[in-house]
Structure 1
């Protein structure tokens, strides 16, 4: 539980920028939609390079020090970066404001990566089996869900007035939570590794990052899992970024954002144990495929709520969002718990073994780089759809009537586009074979 507690702060960082940053740029700072999308996308280019490097560095530190906790200390500073990101000077709007936000987003992503990579690699180090890995990630997912839920409900509620100061106060409050949970996670990682035991490092700490990446990418099952999760992460973060626009312009009630986020995330509190039971009976692969299919179907079903409008439309949307929330819990639990399975198979002599044991940190670094890419590509795809539809940006307190083309783009980007992206994720995931092999 102490180890999983670190996911509370991770949930805050994943949720708040993913849910509010695009809307903050376009409807508070008057940044054009296309430029706002680039502001979220370009910092993630840094992540694509940094995460694999940190994965290899984490492996080297495990060899040298016997643990991976040194880099995790950066998590304590992550909250400060989020406060700075949402504290844009009042004189800045448009392009200069986008530059301010983008620079601090880079800093925050770097701090987050230094915490996240060794934190998640811990599960691959543990001397536990197939079902025990699912159990570890079930606890992590429950804490992550609490972080996502609290941030997903609190952040929109605290910024409902739409002023710049509201965003700063929101960031200050949630930054405190992030700092505390980072300290808890450091203790939790130490206690979990001491209690379960860890695989002895193979001593191959001198491999280059590029060599580690090649080693991981040659693993066919890992490659299928990574490509599938790239599209999964893109879809879910597109959903988060688009939700404030959907409630504001379709139902004309921005207060619904907090409600729908609660309905989306709350099911994971009970769905996690249920998905864990499913995994024991049917395996993780079938659960992940089912979750992907249900999320894609739910994305299309959201169009019905928009067409109905009013109270009936809100009711239908609420029900669909709950179903998608159950699916989201499965997407997170199964995908993350399958990464240690692939690492364990590689170290036991699977497809990725090449002159030594697999590099757990390298696998995790590439995985988290993929996750970071999805968090950026999702909002960028939605912003590009808005830009193509002629969406008009505005400043805080200003309400702009959108043209019909923008409303069409807003709906298509929230329904058909994520359904297509998740279908691609399912296509790649079907190429994963590890669960089909005899135990």
Structure 2
């Protein structure tokens, strides 16, 4: 059963803040390339849409290799800093530099530019894996209480909201500071600014979790990587949770990739990318206590279903934006943000539950293997969102351009932007709601290996 012991040390506010600040890194790195990289390549480096989508997706395939390895390494790490924190520091030393190089804007266009961006993005993804995988493993080891994990992650989501402000409002504002469509110099300035925030948040999390408790820290799993993967695959709660997370992330990556196009070609104002994200991030900052209450009142699965319906419903409703205008679009993004806030909080709280139950049942420490496998598959699947959106643009006849040669898009391309930002991701989100019904791990229930069958 899921442990709810009364003697478990309460995670201090300082540790909660120290852990939460790391989400500035995870949320920002997931959002900024997803929001700006595809548009940057198609509209500034003259990379065809299908190739730009492939570049955004290709480095994520590397995650399938590096993330599980980082998870296993962190499980087996023995140091005075603990098993996870040395890896947080390693990520802080590599990711910010690689991120700047992604948007460095060398004098290349077309396929050579795509190769350059792809190589730099691969390096950035590696640095990110060093930080992200151990970071996501930590909550399950800080407390054994089912509801305290949600409360702990509530703090994390506040920082996710702040990172979303940076990603969706500040980053596009910097890009557009030299004109409505931006310039290569403005993209470089944005990259340096974001990289500085990444570095500060990663170091903040490293130092802020120095006194994080390790509740009943079990011994590392001595089995082979294949055996540990088999154990994860046999955990039905983990499998169904991973499936719904992958679907949600695929839809999110489509929404991020399509946002600049939606603002430019549906709302006729590229600068509205920032205002759309302003209303999107509001619920993330304001509704966390409500989602914590809903998770206690209706259990985490019930709250997740509600969040998924709001997320998908708001996304689909934006299909009517050409009829009702920008005000309507912003209102629907508020609904989307409300659902997304709940989805993000509950997803990671449920993952921590699955990991904690596995450790309680087996007596082995393999949180890194679970989070490594989780992040690898989630990242690989979610990367198809940009690839799908790029394919939708190509089918619609979207014409690539560079900074000195803007082009007028055909009607089919504008329709493709609308469908790729609304109907297609909404269908994926509603499928995720159906998958949520298969997750049945609850407080006082059976171990994860049998509770969700």
Partner of 1:380: 387
The reply to whether residue 291 of structure 1 matches residue 328 of structure 2 is no
**Equivalent pair of 1:152/1:261 in contact (CA under 8 Å):** yes
The reply to whether residue 28 of structure 1 matches residue 44 of structure 2 is yes
SS in 1 for 2:383: helix
The reply to whether residue 187 of structure 1 matches residue 233 of structure 2 is no
SS in 2 for 1:159: helix
**Equivalent pair of 1:264/1:321 in contact (CA under 8 Å):** yes
SS in 2 for 1:170: helix
Matched ranges for 1:84-123 at <5 A: 84-90=101-107, 92-123=108-139
Question: CA shift at 1:435, angstroms?
Answer: 2.5
After TM superposition, the structure 1 stretch with the greater mean CA deviation from structure 2, 1-10 or 163-172, is 1-10
SS in 1 for 2:211: helix
After TM superposition, the structure 1 stretch with the greater mean CA deviation from structure 2, 410-419 or 102-111, is 410-419
Question: CA shift at 1:276, angstroms?
Answer: 0.9
The reply to whether residue 332 of structure 1 matches residue 334 of structure 2 is no
The reply to whether residue 319 of structure 1 matches residue 331 of structure 2 is yes
In the aligned structure 1, how far is the partner of 2:421 from the partner of 2:269? Answer: 17
Match of 1:167 among 161, 165, 187: 187
Partner of 2:269: 253
In the aligned structure 1, how far is the partner of 2:90 from the partner of 2:367? Answer: 20
Match of 1:80 among 87, 97, 108: 97
In the aligned structure 1, how far is the partner of 2:148 from the partner of 2:29? Answer: 27
**Equivalent pair of 2:49/2:398 in contact (CA under 8 Å):** yes
Q: Label 1:259 to 1:65 Cα distance change in 2 as closer, same or farther (>3 A).
A: closer
Structure 2 segments unaligned to the other structure (5+ residues): 1-16, 447-453
Deviations 1:280-337 (A, max 9, x none): 21111111111111111111100111233xxxx1111110001100111111000011
Partner of 2:225: 209
Question: CA shift at 1:438, angstroms?
Answer: 4.4
SS in 1 for 2:209: helix
SS in 2 for 1:191: coil
Q: Label 1:389 to 1:24 Cα distance change in 2 as closer, same or farther (>3 A).
A: same
Question: CA shift at 1:69, angstroms?
Answer: 1.2
Partner of 1:362: 369
**Equivalent pair of 2:75/2:220 in contact (CA under 8 Å):** no
Match of 2:405 among 379, 398, 413: 398
In the aligned structure 2, how far is the partner of 1:376 from the partner of 1:74? Answer: 24
Question: CA shift at 1:416, angstroms?
Answer: 1.1
Deviations 1:314-367 (A, max 9, x none): 111110001100111111000011011112222333xxx5xx536211111111
Match of 1:346 among 351, 358, 364: 358
In the aligned structure 2, how far is the partner of 1:88 from the partner of 1:208? Answer: 43
Q: Label 1:399 to 1:223 Cα distance change in 2 as closer, same or farther (>3 A).
A: same
Match of 2:279 among 254, 263, 266: 263
Partner of 1:40: 56
Deviations 1:192-245 (A, max 9, x none): 23xxx33323243x3222221111111011100001100000001111110100
**Equivalent pair of 1:61/1:67 in contact (CA under 8 Å):** yes
Partner of 1:432: 439
**Equivalent pair of 1:30/1:393 in contact (CA under 8 Å):** yes
Partner of 2:217: 200
Q: Label 1:286 to 1:397 Cα distance change in 2 as closer, same or farther (>3 A).
A: farther
In the aligned structure 2, how far is the partner of 1:186 from the partner of 1:302? Answer: 40
Deviations 1:117-152 (A, max 9, x none): 111111111233011100111101111210121221
In the aligned structure 2, how far is the partner of 1:74 from the partner of 1:35? Answer: 31
The reply to whether residue 419 of structure 1 matches residue 436 of structure 2 is no
SS in 1 for 2:147: helix
After TM superposition, the structure 1 stretch with the greater mean CA deviation from structure 2, 374-383 or 314-323, is 374-383
In the aligned structure 2, how far is the partner of 1:229 from the partner of 1:119? Answer: 17
Deviations 1:7-63 (A, max 9, x none): 112222112101000100111111100000100111110001111111111111159
SS in 2 for 1:434: coil
In the aligned structure 1, how far is the partner of 2:244 from the partner of 2:317? Answer: 22
Question: CA shift at 1:397, angstroms?
Answer: 4.5
Normalising by structure 2, report the TM-score: 0.90
In the aligned structure 2, how far is the partner of 1:438 from the partner of 1:375? Answer: 31
Q: How many residues align?
A: 425
Task: Please tell me the root mean square deviation across aligned C-alpha atoms, in Å.
Answer: 1.7
Deviations 1:71-95 (A, max 9, x none): 11123231111110000212x0011
Deviations 1:172-195 (A, max 9, x none): 1121111111111011222223xx
In the aligned structure 2, how far is the partner of 1:93 from the partner of 1:171? Answer: 19
